[in-house]
Chains A and B, each alone.
Chain A
Amino acid sequence: MSKTHFQTRNGTSVTEQLFPQAEDDLELFSDDSEVVGPAAASEVIRYEYHVLYSYSYGVPVLYFRASFLDGRPLTLKEIWDGVHQFYKAHLLQEPWSTITQQEHPILGQPFFVLHPCKTNEFMTSLLENSEKDNRNINYITSWLSIVGPVVGLNLPLSYAKAMSQHDAKPDCYQVSESNLTC
């Protein structure tokens, strides 16, 4: 799955699209025609988010990168500056969210990656609690709503609303017993 959205430096979001794809097949979508002309003082940044599945760890992994419209990529520090204050403080406390630059396994290009090793821990407790309350959740939506904002990806509420109307049981993602730590 990949998503591209454009955001001006001062934080106004311009367009959002989400395209579900087969695991192995990833395409990048960007819709330049929908970009509103930026204000003179701010620059438009193009964010790309990809959700990939790690067979080695058995969990989803978030890959992301950002660049200015002229193609210049943002450094991790520049992306970090765009993250909401609340998450910054949270991230500094929680060592599970290490971000490193890695090669995208399908595109072969540099992306930033949110380290997957603690995913199992927090997803297990989340799934157990939702079972107890008899709530239906979508693994990917829940996971993305937790890790996404940490790197500037905010999931619209409509995703959660769509799930609660759906009769689907938690998806095919098996949470294995192995306790993965960094």
Chain B
Amino acid sequence: MTDDKDVLRDVWFGRIPTCFTLYQDEITEREAEPYYLLLPRVSYLTLVTDKVKKHFQKVMRQEDISEIWFEYEGTPLKWHYPIGLLFDLLASNTALPWNITVHFKSFPEKDLLHCPSKDTIEAHFMSCMKEADALKHKSQVINEMQKKDHKQLWMGLQNDKFDQFWAINRKLMEYPAEDNGFRYIPFRIYQATTERPFIQKLFRPVAADGQLHTLGDLLKEVCPSAITTEDGVKKNQIMIHGIEPMLETPLQWLSEHLSYPDNFLHISIIPQPTD
């Protein structure tokens, strides 16, 4: 019988085969070959694409290079969203590899946050972790940690070190014995077709009668349109880390095992493929 802990490893080591191609209007001194890379689902684009940047900058002049940004089928990719979320939301039902276009000009100021350095990614990551703990533990657990523990979480993510990361992160997954779970579940629900970037609300993992709330309960409450059926036919896929968990899965379990390193459950609602 698979241990629950194996799920944590499977989530952490998930990869997406990606092909990076330079945008055709970029000015190059020679032909730019596409660059192939396995992207970690749980990380962030600007954290893992140094090699991509170097590869394309080799064929460009310094003056034609400004801040790198990525795009998929015309949609600028938000580096501050985890890679796995971007893929599930935008490309999960298309053939692999994931084809991403690389840009060095005309940064889309209205769509993307700037990412001047790794420190920006770290600040964003830690800010998400803090918000998650504010919801789970009123910030008590994360505030009790020392600065070096926070650093260890970040370094674990940056260097793809599962054990280093979870040595600290496990503390953020604990809860008082008398409760049956966290105070509120950190989650965000994304749907490419809506105006709003995501849905995030306060939602408890345990009902007043002590019953554990399920994924289905969450959706019914905050995004009922996601699970309605059209004449009994399933309209949407509810996807986390490339899989569709059963709607009966307890939300508390999902939060402990299928959260991203930032401790949020990033859930994608995508149209059911018609094949």
Contact = CB atoms under 8 A, between A and B. Distances in A.
Interface stretch (B98-106, B196-204, B244-252): B196-204
Given A73-B109, A100-B123, A106 B196 contact: yes
A165 interface: no
Nearest to B198: A105
A93 interface: no
Interface string B191-216: 00001111011100000000000000
Among B112, B134, B202, the most chain A Cβ lie within 10 Å of the Cβ of B134
Nearest to A98: B123
A8 interface: no
Given A56-B135, A180-B134, A181-B143, A102 B113 contact: yes
A86 interface: no
B109 A56 contact: no
A180 to B, nearest CB: 6
A56 to B, nearest CB: 5
A110 B110 contact: yes
B139 interface: yes
B186 to A, nearest CB: 8
A105 B113 contact: no
A180 B139 contact: yes
B137 to A, nearest CB: 9
Given A105-B197, A105-B198, A110 B113 contact: yes
Contact of B80 (A103, A105, A178): A103
B52 to A, nearest CB: 23
A56 B131 contact: yes
Given A101-B114, A110-B109, A55 B78 contact: no
Which 7 pairs from chain A and chain B are nearest by CB?
A: A108-B197, A178-B138, A56-B131, A73-B109, A56-B134, A110-B113, A101-B113
Given A55-B202, A178-B138, 15 more contacts: A56-B134, A56-B135, A57-B134, A73-B109, A73-B110, A100-B123, A100-B127, A101-B114, A104-B197, A106-B197, A107-B197, A108-B196, A110-B114, A180-B134, A180-B139
